[in-house]
Amino acid sequence: MGRRSRRTTDTRSWVSSLVRSGVGTADELSRQVTEALRADHPDLDADAVASRWIAEETAAWRSDASRWSDPTDYDRLQRAFASLTARGIVVLQGCPDHWSARDVARSHAPVGIAWFTPPDIWHSVDEGMLEVNLWHASTANAAPGDALLDEVLAAFESAGVRARFDEGRIEVSAYWRRRPPGPDG
């Protein structure tokens, strides 16, 4: 495979993960893909290719989702996140970065904050592993032996997903199989 072809394949794979993450609006999705195409593939008509790839990946997502069992790992994750939220732990799904998470922690005074970025979601779409950061309200990292960490791990287990703490993050064994919006959404 040639260098250009490999780069196009890599970009297309990223677009697939981005679409399947379901994070952001349709306009944000279009903007991100168009900008990436302009930067990485200046020889392509970025607007036309972005529109075509998004439509094709959305159709593939819908087709795949029609064969997923109920509940999906995504559904289980949402149950765990709802449980954490009910306990005063803020959950930020697709948080842009640690500064954004820090700002939420400072403004909401939660029990704790669990957060992960869009690239974490893309990894879960492709590899079935979601890495979740867990902080105390002070933004100090959770660590083995913390009651907060134990509580979060128990919430994942109760929701039916395996999770373990490793190297400062919680590794959750789950594919991000979020169902696509309807044809009009």
pLDDT tens digit sequence for 100-109: 999 998 888 7
Q: Model pTM?
A: 0.91
**Phi and psi, residue 39, nearest 5°:** -75, -45
Quote the CA–CA distance of 84 and 20 in Å, as a whole number. 24
Confidence of residue 185 (pLDDT cuts 50, 70, 90): very low
Cα–Cα distances in angstroms (integers) from residue 108 to residues 88, 103, 114, 140, in the given order: 10, 9, 13, 15
Quote the CA–CA distance of 90 and 55 in Å, as a whole number. 33
Cα–Cα distances in angstroms (integers) from residue 52 to residues 18, 56, 57, 97, 129, in the given order: 14, 6, 9, 29, 29
